[in-house]
Amino acid sequence: MTPMNNEEYLLKLQFSDELKELEAAKKASGLNFEQLAEKIGVNKVWLASTLKGQQWVPEEYCIKIAKALGISVEKTMFLNNHPYKGNTDPILYRLHEVLDTYGPAIKDIIHEQGGNAIMSAIDFGLDVDVIEDAEGNHRVIIKFDGKLLPYAKKGKYPW
């Protein structure tokens, strides 16, 4: 993922046409964010961020937003999709952070245990679970299962 600034990112949103329709409906309503948020029963900053495509919106609030803007619910239901946020989604950012922090150690252990090899991203499986630990905390478990691919002994190597 190539980092970009927020303005560039927001222009590339998956639902840019739908967001433009919501912006037009808000403008046509004559309401500012504070007035509209009060009508819906939400925080004005959250609402402004929502109308920029940066928040996940429960179905009940998609309905309230549609009613407040005087548009059909079908025009707001796309907000019920989990968006990529800002120029780096928080979950994706954390995955990058994990690999930045632990990647060199993972690489060393793969070489130590598997020799001169890499992990395949083609012959590869991935699983994600959210579990509850003994203290009642929710934990994310991510399992990578990639075939170990030894480098071929071809080319101008010492072997």
Tell me: the pLDDT tens digits for 83-115? Answer: 877 666 788 889 999 999 999 999 999 999 999
Regarding pTM above 0.75, the answer is: no
68 lies in the same domain as 97: no
> Could you give the percent of the chain with pLDDT greater than 70?
86
Instruction: Give the Cα separation of 22 and 71 in Å (integer).
Output: 9
CATH of the domain at 113: 3.30.1160.10
Domain end (from 42, 62, 80): 80
What value does the mean pLDDT of the chain take?
89
Residue 97 annotated to the active site: yes
| Percent of the chain predicted with pLDDT > 90 | 69
Is the separation of the CB atoms in 158 and 138 below 8 Å?
no
Among 6-10, 75-79, 84-88, 118-122, whose mean pLDDT is lowest? 6-10
Residue 120 annotated among the catalytic residues of the structure: yes
CB 51 within 8 A of CB 23: yes
Q: Which of 94, 112, 135, 139 is flagged as catalytic?
A: 94
pLDDT at 7 over 60: no
Structure tokens at 59: 């179905």
User: How far apart, in whole angstroms, are the C-alpha atoms of residue 31 and residue 101?
Assistant: 47
120 shares its domain with 141 = yes
Averaged pLDDT, 128-148:
96
Its domain, for residue 56, covers 6-80
Q: Which of 97, 132, 135, 139 is catalytic?
A: 97
Domain boundary among 80, 112, 139: 80
Of 16, 34, 120, 139, the active-site residue reads 120
Regarding whether 64 and 95 lie in a shared domain, the answer is no
Q: Does 98 lie in the same domain as 74?
A: no
Q: What is the pLDDT of residue 1?
A: 46
Alpha-helical segments (H) within 58-89: 59-69
Final residue in a domain of this structure, among 80, 98, 114: 80
Residue 85 lies in a domain: no
User: What does the pLDDT read at residue 16?
Assistant: 86
Q: Are residues 11 and 74 in the same domain?
A: yes
- The whole-number pLDDT of residue 25 equals 98
Q: What's the CATH number where 16 sits?
A: 1.10.260.40
- pLDDT category of residue 3 using cuts at 50, 70 and 90: low
- Establish if 51 belongs to a structural domain: yes
The domain tally of the chain equals 2
Indicate if 76 and 20 belong to the same structural domain: yes
